[in-house]
Structure formats: structure tokens, C-alpha cells
Amino acid sequence: GGLMILGVTALVYTGVLALAVQSAIYYRPVPDYTGVGGEAGMTRMREMSVDRVPVPLQLARFMAVSFISVLCRVLMGWRNRLELVQDANYKAMLEYWRRRPRDTGLITVSNHASSMDDPGLLAAITPVDVILSPGRMRWTVATQDLVFPEGKTWIQAFMGAGQTLPIWRGGGVDQPLLLDMARQIAAGNWAHIFPEARVVQSGELGQDPITKRSEDELRRIGLLKWGVGKLIAHAQVEPYVVPFYHFGMAGILPQHNVWRGDMSDPKNYHNLVVNWLNPGKGMTVKVWFGERLYFDDLVGEHEAKHGPLNKISAGPVASDWQEQVEKWKSSDTDRQLYHDITNRIQDALLALEARAKSDVAAKPVDKLILACPRCTVATPKGKIVNLRTGNATRAKPYVRRGP
């Protein structure tokens, strides 16, 4: 009798697992290498309402998100030390994670200092009860050519179950893939965005040796990509938007840890080499949260002048996908709005960066790396533009250690 019960139980668990895996494959996000939103990039996720997730897919997401997140928390806590500035902003963030209105999305924005920021840092700062509830856990985007390789069904299924969506780096704010993230926000979900759109280990928001924008472009266009501005502008309900800034991840996973030739030669700088098998150990990571940001004034002023914006819903879009893609395209006035929204986020992140540096200068933290020395060595003098004061300033490579 006992063996029969055990066998039936194993059979049930196997069947449930098979359903979860099948669902993850069926609803996997699909990269769009055409950039036009056609059939090549069509995912069955668009056939369903984002806020009505099939039970097998919920199970697949629970398994993937909880496993990776718990593993990352263990690795971050075991090998390194995390310090959260637990002020009023952090306490408010706990409320936003747990008790915001169900139809209201949450967008967190931060600097991007290593390839382990997500899932490593995001899992470490998220409360365990949120991690164990995939409906409250973060969604994010990742560059499709690296994380969603074409034709690799199992990888796409796993990343999708881990609540990651593909994005075409360089595809612009009108790319159809960004519409998939807008639907998640419409469902009241949490999205984390790295508006720098790449890893920057200089200790300066959005600027390092390989920054393509000139000083004039940085002042005119900004440090950040405007996709996050578009997500906010087209939300049916204004999402909670919370910035945070962190230092220390550049010491845990340097993005360019192989050098050939003279280290002082800027031409040797790159950020394509990552040693995943040997991340830093014994380092400190510190995180500062900012106040919630509001954009109703910017959106309201825009709509008063130019008419209502297209608002994105959580409902199915597969049947009229091409029509949705056309509506997703932006006018010049829309782009100005995205720019204004993103500038407000930029200002908040720069203020947090300044606060973080001031805090660390006043009270040094043991083994807290503010910038990768190899990155800052390769930064030509005057390359970093200080947009807070309008003056150029030299990046300062150093490691803060305790007294």
C-alpha cells in the first residue's frame, strides 16, 4: 500500500511538472529579429490576458523565479555582504511591493553596474514573501541576442518562466517588444528597468569609456534611454516609480577582467568579458532607495495640448497585433514627453548617486568598490560630464575601505 501511494504521488508530481514545462514552452517569449513585430517575433503570451495566467504557467514561473532568486540570495549573502539603507524610502518601498492597489504597476529604476544586478542584486533586496509570489515578483527585459538566442526554445522558455522578456538593444522606443512589457505594467505587475541599457562600471551614471554620445548629445538627449518614459506615459494607471542606486556590484562581477597589453591604453578597454565561475568574494554592496516619482503633471500637460495618449491594457492582443503595433508608434511630441519623463528619472538617479558618494565619503564602508579601476583608468580625462553642475569632471577610481 505504501509503495503504491508513493508511486501515485510520484506520478502526479511528474505530470504536474510536465504540464508546467509544457506551459513554459508554449507561452515562451519570442525574440523579434525583424524589428517590425511580425510573425517572426510572435509569442503566444499575446493570446492571453496578462492578469489571467493559466495555472500551469503560474507553477512554471513559481519554480523558476523562486529557485533562481533563493539561489542568488544565498550566494550574495554567503560570499558577500549586502547593506540596505533602511530609511523612510526603503520602508515605503516595502509597502509598494506588498500593498499597492492591484491595478497599479510598479516600476523600479536603477543604475546597471554588473551583469549580476539581475537576478543577483534584485533577488537579494526583494523580501522573501514577494519572491515566493511570482505575481508580485519583478519582470525585466534583457537583450535578445544574448539572453534569447534564436531557435533555442528551452532557453527562451526558462527565461520567460523567470519573468524576463526580450528586447532589441538599439531597436528604439517603438519596437514591438517593448509593448509586451507595457502590458505587464497594465496588469499591475512590477517591472525593473535599467535605463542605462547596458552595464556601466565607471561609478558615473550612464558614462564610461565606450559612451557613444558626445558631451553635447549628453546634455541635449540625456544619459538614459527613453523606453522607461514611454512605459510610464502609456500606462492606463500611473505606476509607482521608485529609483534606487547601488555601489559594490562592480567588485562582485567585473565586466572587463581580462587585459592584453598596457592597462593605461584606453583602446584595451572593453566590457565583454565576464568570469561567471569566479565572482568576487567578501565584497560589500550597498543600496540607497529614493522617493517615489510622479509624472501626472507631465502627462496631463501633454494630453491637454496634444490629445489623449494611447493607453495600453492587459488584455489579449494577438488577434489585432499589427494594429496594436501601429498604435504603439510615437509622434515627435510623444518622444518629447518620453524625454521629459526620463529626465526626471535621470535627475533622481543622479541625486541618489551624489548622496551615495557623500555617505561613503563621510563613513567609509569596508570592501565597497565604487568603480572598477580598470574602467576608470581607461577613461580619458574630461570624458565624464557632470550634468548636475554643467562642468566636466574626472572619474575617480578608488576602493573605499573601513577605518
What's the pLDDT band for 378 if we cut at 50, 70, 90? confident
Q: Confidence band (pLDDT; 50, 70, 90) for 393?
A: very low
Summary mean pLDDT of the chain: 87
pLDDT category of residue 384 using cuts at 50, 70 and 90: confident
- pLDDT at site 279: 82
In this predicted model, what pLDDT tens digit does every residue of 237-276 receive, in sequence order? 999 999 999 999 999 988 765 544 555 555 556 556 677 7
Percentage above 90 pLDDT, the chain: 66
| DSSP secondary structure string for all residues of 168-205 | -TTS-TT-HHHHHHHHHHHTT-EEEE-TT-S---SSST
Alpha-carbon distances, residue 363 vs 81, 354, 360, 401 (angstroms): 17, 14, 5, 10
358-396 CB burial, b ≥16 within 10 A, e <16:
eebeeeebebbbbbbbbbbbbbeeebbbebeeeeeeebe
pTM for the whole thing?
Answer: 0.90
Q: Is the pLDDT of residue 231 over 80?
A: yes
> What confidence tens digit (pLDDT) does each residue in 60-99 have?
999 999 999 988 988 888 889 999 999 999 999 999 999 9
Is it the case that residue 389 has pLDDT exceeding 60?
A: no
pLDDT of amino acid 192: 98
Q: Is the pLDDT of residue 6 over 60?
A: yes
pLDDT of 394: 30
Give residue 400's pLDDT band: very low, low, confident or very high (50, 70, 90): very low
Does 399 or 76 have the greater pLDDT score?
76
Q: Are 96 and 136 in contact (CB under 8 A)?
A: no
Q: Residue 77's pLDDT is what?
A: 82
Least confident piece of the model among 88-92, 186-190, 211-215, 376-380: 376-380
**Strands, DSSP E only, in 290-366?**
none
